[in-house]
Amino acid sequence: MPAMQTPWNLDSGAFYIPSSSTFVYSVYASSPNDFGLFLFDAYRSVAMESKFMLRALELAKQGGGNVSPNPLVGAVIVKDGRIIGEGFHETYGGLHAERNALLDCRTRGESAAGADIYVTLEPCCHHGKQPPCTDALIEAGLRRVYVGSRDPNPLVSGKGIAILRSHGIEVEEQILREACDAMNVIFFHYIRTGLPFVLLKYAMSLDGKIACSNGASRWITGEQARRHVHETRNRYASIMVGINTVLADDPSLSCRIPGGRNPIRIVCDSGLRIPLHSALVQSASDIRTIIACCEAHSAEKRSALEQRGCEILVCGKAAQVDLAELFRRLGEKQIDSVLLEGGATLAWSALSLGLVNRVHAYIAPKLIGGVAAPSPLGGCGVKNPSDAFRLVKEKLSTLGSDLLLEGDLEVPFLSCGQDPTASQSRTESPSKRPANHSRKEVI
């Protein structure tokens, strides 16, 4: 809502709520005074709902990097307009947000009986590592539950809400739903498809180079952009690179921010060429490291890698790693997200198979030049601009002197020379997007 805009318009009978969505109400009353009072009360009510759900969202974010493959969830308990308890899902296997909020309520010496709770995701109603949250809410005597998103998990989806209502608890849904849905785009994708959510990330100069022609690449972007990358590494379950990146840069692929969590490192290495003295292998006993290869590999090299703590995944019978099979296997291992950092061959392979959901392109205000200088994408490329991959829901931001362009993939490309399929965002209905499993690259 603009700063000078009033929250309601008495002529049109509409008013606006400063939240992620615009709420419009039309009412009729016997007098202008009654009309105005009704609008004020309604505005105040919806604004309060937004306020407490926004606090729940702030809490949910604090679980980033620690709860995978579970969703990020925050909860706030309110009585008489004041917060008497709050919590979030802190660690995988630990208490859920609702139970943490109830625990905080008791710690404060407050009673949740007759109170309202704001929770970003529908309360669970099944036994997992924790008992159902619906049981806890019913036992605590909550009066009303405000829900942001419905849980797409078939074990829950609508059932948690139905159980609460059957016990006389009022349930209001879709409070700041867009913001709550965005909070769990990774979880929603994973629970619906069984595949990890894939973010393709690269840093390049203004002329599209990710390194100089001699291979030098440190650093293309500045400190703020690099910190943002490490914050993303902290949130994502895993990070993936191809063997050429390992041979060229010898990266550690760790998260270098205070209190950060190292992602699982995944290397696509069809022939197990990764050196035993590489930083990844040397630290594999401390940081989980997976190397995907093909059947045609050295048994002796595999044994040496396993002795140093590496996990070996054989994906594909030919001379190239089958990325589609690899991502399926990663999903089975409950790895719900992959930060795809390079290189150009691996990036193109993932794109051409329809595996990439989102792109982060960091752009530095530098010109590098050089015919031989590499670009972010390899492969055969598209034959016409109209066949290009497109981003939707684009967002452009600045990180120091660099730019970050991010967006969701819309048009999947099938293979060299083939037409792309109909336009579709991969974060909205990923289970329906087509993928061409015939194209593989040597990675």
Report, as residue numbers or ranges, the catalytic residues.
98
> How does DSSP classify residue 315?
-
Q: Tell me the residue length of the chain.
A: 443
Report the chain's terminal Cα–Cα distance, integer Å. 50
User: Of 83, 61, 84, which Cα lies nearest the Cα of 74?
Assistant: 61
CB 268 within 8 A of CB 243: yes
**Phi, then psi, of 398 in degrees rounded to 5:** -110, 140
- For residues 294 and 326, give the distance between their C-alpha atoms in angstroms, rounded to a whole number: 11
CB 189 within 8 A of CB 197: yes
CA 135 centroid distance within chain: 29
Residue 354 zone, left/alpha/beta (φ > 0; ψ -120 to 50; rest): left
Residues 6+ apart with CB under 8 A from 179: 20, 53, 54, 57, 148
